[in-house]
Amino acid sequence: MKPRKSFRAVFSTVLCVGLASFVFSQDENSGASNGEMEKLQEKVSDLNGQLKGLEESYLETMGTVAKLNKIKVSGYVQAQYRMLMDSAGIMDATGKYAAPAGDFSGGKFSDGTRGLLHVRRGRFKIAYDNGLAQSAVQLDATEKGVGIKDAYLSFTDPWIKSVSLKTGLFDRPFGFEISYSSSSRESPERSRLFQTLFPGERDVGAQLQIAPNERMGMVSYLNLKGGLFNGVGIGVENDDHKDFIGRLGMAIPLTDINLAVDAGVSAYIGTVTNTDTTHASVVRNAANTADSIVNTRGYSYEMIAKAFKKSDDEGMLNKTYERQYLGGDIQIYYDVPVIGGFSFRGEYIQGKQPGTSSSSGFYNPGRNSTSGVYMRNFMGYYFMYVQNLGLKNQLIVKYDSYDPNTDVEGKDIGNTATTKLSTADLQYSTLGLGLVHYWDENVKVVAYYDMVSNEKAGFTAADGKEKYNDDLNDDVLTVRIQYKF
Shortest Cβ 63–another protein spacing (Å):
11
Amino acid at 320: T
Amino acid at 146: V
Q: Does 281 bind another protein (CB under 8 A)?
A: no
**Residue closest to 79 by CA, chosen among 117, 111, 110, 28:** 117
- The single-letter DSSP state of residue 54 is H
Distance CA 68, CA 479 (A): 37
Q: Does 128 bind another protein (CB under 8 A)?
A: no
Shortest Cβ 202–another protein spacing (Å):
20
Residue among 88 and 338 whose Cβ is closer to another protein: 338
Among 8, 144, 215, 284, binds another protein (CB under 8 A): 215
Residue among 79 and 433 whose Cβ is closer to another protein: 433
Interface with another protein by CB under 8 A: which range of 202-210, 299-307, 310-318, 393-401?
Answer: 393-401
Q: Is 15 exposed, middle or buried (0-12, 13-18, 19+ CB in 10 A)?
A: exposed
Interface with another protein by CB under 8 A: which range of 33-41, 99-107, 411-419, 444-452?
Answer: 444-452
DSSP per-residue letters across 324-375: EEEEEEEEEEEEETTTEEEEEEEEEEEEEEEE-SS--S-----TTBSS-EEE
Cα-to-chain-centroid distance, residue 84: 25
Three-state SS for 106? coil
Q: Is 1 exposed, middle or buried (0-12, 13-18, 19+ CB in 10 A)?
A: exposed
Q: Does 449 bind another protein (CB under 8 A)?
A: yes
Interface with another protein by CB under 8 A: which range of 95-103, 107-115, 441-449, 463-471?
Answer: 441-449
Residue among 379 and 451 whose Cβ is closer to another protein: 451
**Binding residues among 322-381 for another protein as defined by CB under 8 A:** 333-335, 337-338, 340-343
Interface with another protein by CB under 8 A: which range of 209-217, 300-308, 367-375, 408-416?
Answer: 209-217
The helix (H) or strand (E) run that includes residue 398 is strand 393-403
- Per-residue string for binding with another protein, 130-159, x by CB under 8 A? -x----------------------------
Torsion sign, CA atoms 81, 150, 386, 389: positive
Interface with another protein by CB under 8 A: which range of 36-44, 367-375, 447-455, 458-466?
Answer: 447-455
Binding region for another protein (CB under 8 A): 131, 161, 180, 184, 213-215, 220, 251, 253, 255, 258-260, 333-335, 337-338, 340-343, 386-395, 433, 435, 437-438, 440-441, 447, 449, 451
